[in-house]
A = this chain, B = another copy of it.
């Protein structure tokens, strides 16, 4: 009999006194964790143990734990916000929990019932709500994670795992300004039949050396190409605004979900809002493959208006320049991004901070 993960059994132990948190302007992404964590243990024979919210503390890990040897790990990125109305909101947590299961399933880790996962996350956010930094751009970054912790050197299906959520108060990414990208084709982030559409740890470590290489050449991130097609930027989805000079119509486009890119919750939300809110007589909203040569050629015709990365951490990250070997595509981007980039950021932030009361942002009571 394998026990389900049961949120009604949640056991809560809080710290006596909280740590001191730095002021908003000193918050660095993901460096400081809150006082608590949520943890549930899983065993292939007995199922899920009692979920617990307890003081943040080290895990005791056998050196032979699967996660140390075979990268049985995956995660989600999620945020809680204090709105202008002082209500606490989380952004589409069901989408993150669904994606977490897509990731765990890909590497034979246990799934987490999405409703249960969201319930537990809400309870955790309630415990930490007093340490969510306030102000537009500020949030509590939440990191649901699943790792395998059975101890064995033979590779196979994990028999023990931890589902846990930790949290870090974070500031705005906005300050970093528009970014320069190196279009990268010597290293490949994902491929057909691979795992690029899941949020496995395995997709991240291999990207750091190419990023270091790009940084040495003066770029902030890689624009990952696959057979010349634009896929992702750094760890974000990639959006473009084209102008079709013949028709006068603008195109708002991003790569399709063909297995090579992460199904970003921010990406999905931006597309949904754009389809609702951009005037269809002026705009075409597409999900399609864009080749680097299309970007370069259309840039020469001044048909590339804007480009930005999109993800939970930054919402939108305006792109200033894309370099591909000796070719350079320079975008007329303001510090905060172009007109559409800024509009998209406003849409999402207005929802996150309760200015625009919208079903994407769920109040945590």
- The interface of chain A, by Cβ under 8 A from chain B, is 28-31, 33, 37, 56, 58-64, 67-73, 75, 105-108, 141, 143, 145, 147, 151-157, 164, 166, 168, 185-188, 191-195, 200-209, 211-212, 235
Residues of B within 8 A of A31 (CB): 152-154
Q: Determine if B202 and A205 form an interchain contact, defined as CB atoms under 8 angstroms apart.
A: yes
Give 21 CB contacts A-B under 8 Å: A28-B154, A30-B64, A30-B152, A31-B152, A58-B62, A60-B60, A61-B61, A63-B145, A64-B166, A67-B73, A68-B73, A69-B143, A71-B71, A71-B203, A105-B209, A106-B206, A107-B209, A141-B153, A157-B208, A188-B193, A188-B194
Q: Determine if A61 and B59 form an interchain contact, defined as CB atoms under 8 angstroms apart.
A: yes
Name which residue of chain B comes closest to A67, CB basis: B68
Q: Determine if B201 and A30 form an interchain contact, defined as CB atoms under 8 angstroms apart.
A: no
CB distance from A132 to the nearest CB of B (A): 16
Interchain CB contact (< 8 A) of A108 among B56, B145, B164, B209: B209
Name which residue of chain B comes closest to A166, CB basis: B63
Name which residue of chain B comes closest to A168, CB basis: B153
Residues of B within 8 A of A33 (CB): 63-64, 151
Residues of B within 8 A of A211 (CB): 156
Measured CA separation A108–B151 after assembly (Å)? 25
Q: Determine if B64 and A73 form an interchain contact, defined as CB atoms under 8 angstroms apart.
A: no
Measured CA separation A191–B191 after assembly (Å)? 7
Q: Determine if B30 and A204 form an interchain contact, defined as CB atoms under 8 angstroms apart.
A: no
